[in-house]
Homo-oligomer: A and B are copies of this chain.
Amino acid sequence: MTNASYKQFCPVAMAAEVLCTRWTVVLLRELVAGSTRFNELRRGVPRMSPALLSKRLSELESAGVVERERLTDPPDVDAYRLTRAGRDLQPVIEAIGMWGQKWVETEPSLENLDPELLMWDMRRNLDTTPVPDRRVVIEFIYPELPRSQRKWWLIVEPDETVDLCHIDPGFDVDLYATVDLRTMTEIWMGLRSVADAVDRDALLLVGSSDLIRSMQTWLGLSPFAQQEKLAS
């Protein structure tokens, strides 16, 4: 046991010993979302140091929440998966996220935007059902960002896998979306709609009119976007 215990027999305290250390629930959100590899997890939790990530994964393994599996395909590499106890944390993480969306003031966290994190989340939640039955390429352009973070491509393959690139894959582009990072993040979080952003010239869409019309649908949004916000 690395954490000092609360030394209480209350189940809330017992669970809090496992869950309520720094970065742990953010990491669990990433595991619940399906990331399994060390660097895949790092991508979802980019400001967590690798040392602490490694430590937290070991602690969660000791607590029976995560199990480590040695892979054969890339050899000498581990995958981290939730155990049954870990999957049972999904309602807990969701309840925490719903409360955060409803009650935590968003302004401070909108000052710490991250295009890679946003695109990575969008890739994961993209709703591919309304997308045509062929390869579809959407290019996002954030004009205010430095060149290395300015352009991102989401590529939906016919088998409905979605890839994210930040170097030009060379395919024909079906839709260009030019937008500032804050606006796109607000749309992703459900704080404003695609239509509103287009009306106010914060989002410029050029390309397939089908994709433009259905963007609010195929852009899957954050799992918490439907929760109304009540914070000041």
Contact = CB atoms under 8 A, between A and B. Distances in A.
A100 interface: yes
B12 A108 contact: no
A141 interface: no
Interface string A7-48: 111111111111111111110010000000000000000010
State the oligomeric state as a number of copies: 2
Size bracket, chain A contacts: 35 or more
Contacts of A185: 9
A84 B230 CA distance: 10
Contact of A8 (B17, B93, B112): B112
Contact of A16 (B16, B26, B227): B26
Contacts of A219: none
A23 to B, nearest CB: 7
Contacts of A91: 95
Contact of A95 (B92, B118, B189, B224): B92
